Amino acid sequence: MRRVGLVTSGGDAPGMNTAIRAVVRSADAEGVAVFGFEDGYSGLIEGRGREIAARDVGDVVHRGGTMLRTARCPEMATPSGQAKAVEALNRVGADGLVVIGGDGSLKGAHALAAHGVPVAGIPASIDNDIWGTQMSLGVDSALNTIMEAIDKLRDTASSHKRAFLIETMGRDSGYLTAMAGVICGAELVVVPEHEVSLVEVGEIVESAHERGKPHCFVIVAEGASRNVDEICEHLTVHGIGYEARVTKLGHVQRGGSPSAFDRLLASRMGARATSELLSGRVDFMIGLDGAELQPVDLADVCARTAQSGVRFMELTRMLAR
């Protein structure tokens, strides 16, 4: 291979820039050029981008977001969009493509592999819902952001004896929420994978009050069947002891400097994806399995959904005594 394409797609995640740097520099070490497409698959379909040299990725190892920018691009899910992407790759002379993104983006990569494009995937999504890797890029950074925010809310909650209903990201995945429950000492987490009634939430919060807790945290994923506002209203109307307040953490969870864990993972995954691609492997993603990286087939990644962190829900409840 003389030149490979590179694209970041879907929701941005801390660590994407670190992975871009690793791909560019490890390709450079092998004398291979990298063409970076801008704005996710939209830029790929239009053949829009620029060559990125080793010096162009200076000073990005620690930056959040993505220097190539990202986008959602419904056209990429259509046969004509994919045909345009293949044409664009040929036009810019890219013999392969590295895709850094979430489960949707990896489906796009797998679709291009079906058109004969050698593709490598790097999992990046704060949702941690990608099958085939224990951790995706951005998850650890997002959890650290959530933890810092909830530690701050704890000061106010304890000072005022309040219950806080905190909304975390996760349209379909409760991973961040379930993990935040454990690491932030929540009373309860509410996730998309599990139904819970307002009455149950009310009883759990009331019981915390009766046990003399000076604060109470309920962490709720944005995609859960009960949202923070309706839970707050229920608690307020039924007078469960605490005054209740809502905090929606929103997109602050996706931004910021990648954590040490994410920088290391991104650097390792970027280098490994590149070396596997250059040695002829196709249609794969680099996954983390224990301490080791391993290539997994994109066909499997696209056909399955990751285990969410719901097994940690019980731990949150047990430790909240």
Binding site for ligand F6P (CB under 6 A): 11, 125-127, 169-171, 222, 254
Is the distance from CB of 19 to CB of 258 less than 8 angstroms?
A: no
Residues in contact with ligand ADP, counted by CB under 6 A, come to a total of 17
Pairwise CA distance, residues 220 & 143, whole Å? 14
Q: What are the backbone dihedrals phi and psi of residue 221, each rounded to the nearest 5 degrees, phi first?
A: -70, 145
Closest separation in Å from C-beta 45 to ligand ADP: 9
Q: Which residue is nearest to ligand F6P (CB)?
A: 11
Residue 10 near ligand ADP by CB under 6 A: yes
Among ligand F6P, ligand ADP, none, what does residue 126 contact (CB within 5–8 Å per kind)? ligand F6P
Residue 89 near ligand ADP by CB under 6 A: no
Structure token pair of residue 19: 């992975």
Judged by CB under 6 A, which of 41, 131, 175, 242 binds ligand ADP?
41
Per DSSP, 159 falls in state H
Structure token pair of residue 204: 């759990």
Pairwise CA distance, residues 278 & 26, whole Å? 10
Residue 127 known to be catalytic: yes
Pairwise CA distance, residues 269 & 121, whole Å? 9
Of residues 96 and 174, the one with the C-beta less far from ligand F6P? 174
Of residues 131 and 164, the one with the C-beta less far from ligand ADP? 131
Pairwise CA distance, residues 301 & 138, whole Å? 18
**Interface positions, 198-257, toward ligand ADP (CB under 6 A):** none
Of residues 95 and 172, the one with the C-beta less far from ligand ADP? 172
Is the distance from CB of 263 to CB of 272 less than 8 angstroms?
A: no
Site string for ligand ADP, 97-126 (x = CB under 6 A): ----xxxxx-xx--x-------------x-
Among ligand F6P, ligand ADP, none, what does residue 41 contact (CB within 5–8 Å per kind)? ligand ADP
The single residue of 12, 39, 103, 127 carrying the catalytic annotation is 127
Q: Sheet of 33-37: strands edge to edge?
A: 49-52, 33-37, 3-9, 96-101, 119-123, 284-289, 292-297
Catalytic (active-site) positions: 127
